[in-house]
Amino acid sequence: MVTMAAPDRSTKPQHRFDDRVALVTGGASGIGAATCELLAHAGAQVWVADFDLASALALADRLVAAGAQAQAIALDVTDPQQVKNVVQACWQRHARLDIAVNNAGISQSVNGLLQTPRSQWSDVMGVNLEGVWNCLQAELAVMAPARSGAIVNVSSRAGLVGHPQVAVYTASKHAVVGLTRSAALEFAPLGIRVNAVCPGLVRTPFVERKLGERLEEVSRSANPLGRAADPMEIAESIAWLCSDAASYVVGVALLVDGGALAGGSTGK
Ligand code: NAI
């Protein structure tokens, strides 16, 4: 099979975010890091919020050294008070929050439903679902009075179709789509757009940890492109959803999976 490679990313950003303030959770790695890079190089003031402060600091330093505006902040999205504090810190510094990307997420170990320990339920739901819920509550509380903002929740292809052996992860990502649509309906009249992005297989540390040596083989058969996405290809979709170019896009769960679901299969 001839695979269509990811395009050269040395080109200029598609959309500008000058004077905008963006908060990206799970911003230190993978899709979140690519989103921070893209938004920062397109003019946004980016808050790289992550559990892993050392990696967040390293990314923010790299962006600042390249002439962009970024800062790192420690955040565990499972703690509603921490989430509120980060949003408040952002608000106090800039008196605005234009963009929020609720991206932090974890995987589960591949297991039959009956073999899945209860701890996986609370761990995965705590980060993937309650984390997004905590972020939405804090972000919308400041965006609503300002009557403006764009939020993107990172769901997954597993937010749209079932996946055996990862039922808890799949349930968490379906719930993120439900939260997204409900929040979108409630807040669109206030000028705030809430959307979700649903990536297929993306080559990130998350997937490298999960698939290990099987990554190449799985990537080849994952979709008609025959490869995993580059994190920047997902970041581009997120940035578009956050941009004024998507001003009429509300409550969508945007599938970005290299065509895996186009035929109605799970891509195998
Ligand atoms: P990653 O593991 O490379 O990055 C996730 C980041 O989230 C890490 O920096 C980690 O420190 C941070 N994080 C984890 N728990 C946190 C918490 N409680 N509070 C704050 N930060 C926390 O993962 P990747 O692949 O970039 O995934 C990002 C999102 O994309 C996740 O929500 C994941 O479910 C979703 N996704 C990933 C796909 C893939 O193939 N890589 C496919 C579909 C969805």
Q: Which helix (H) or strand (E) holds 86?
A: helix 80-94
- Hunting for tokens 């600091």 — which residue is that? 57
Gap between the Cα atoms of 42 and 192, Å rounded = 21
Which is nearest to 158 in space by CA: 207, 87, 118?
A: 207
Q: Which atom of ligand 1 is nearest to the CA of 78?
A: 18
* Ligand 1 near 169 CB (within 6 A): no
Gap between the Cα atoms of 93 and 214, Å rounded = 45
* Ligand 1 near 104 CB (within 6 A): yes
Give the residue whose CA is nearest to atom 34 of ligand 1. Answer: 105
Written in H, E and C, the secondary structure of 105-127 is: CCCCCCCCHHHCCHHHHHHHHHH
Neighbouring CB atoms inside 10 A of 126's CB total 17
User: How far is ligand 1, taken at its centre, from the CA of residue 125, in Å?
Assistant: 13
DSSP one-letter code for 21? E
The torsion region of residue 258 among left (phi > 0), alpha (psi -120 to 50) and beta comes to left
Residues in the chain: 268
Gap between the Cα atoms of 178 and 114, Å rounded = 25
Q: Is the distance from CB of 135 to CB of 83 less than 8 angstroms?
A: yes
| Residue type present at position 118 | R
Who contacts 8 (Cβ-Cβ below 8 Å, separation ≥6)? none
Gap between the Cα atoms of 89 and 74, Å rounded = 12
Who contacts 19 (Cβ-Cβ below 8 Å, separation ≥6)? 43
* Ligand 1 near 207 CB (within 6 A): yes
Residues of the chain with pLDDT under 70: 1-3, 9-12, 264-268
Q: Is 47 exposed, middle or buried (0-12, 13-18, 19+ CB in 10 A)?
A: buried
- Hunting for tokens 């990314």 — which residue is that? 59
Q: Which tokens belong to 202?
A: 């993306």
Gap between the Cα atoms of 165 and 24, Å rounded = 29
Q: Is the distance from CB of 128 to CB of 72 less than 8 angstroms?
A: no
Sign of CA dihedral 151, 153, 154, 155: negative
User: How far is ligand 1, taken at its centre, from the CA of residue 189, in Å?
Assistant: 30
The neighbouring-strand residues paired with 149 are: 192
pLDDT at position 14 is 82
* Ligand 1 near 31 CB (within 6 A): yes
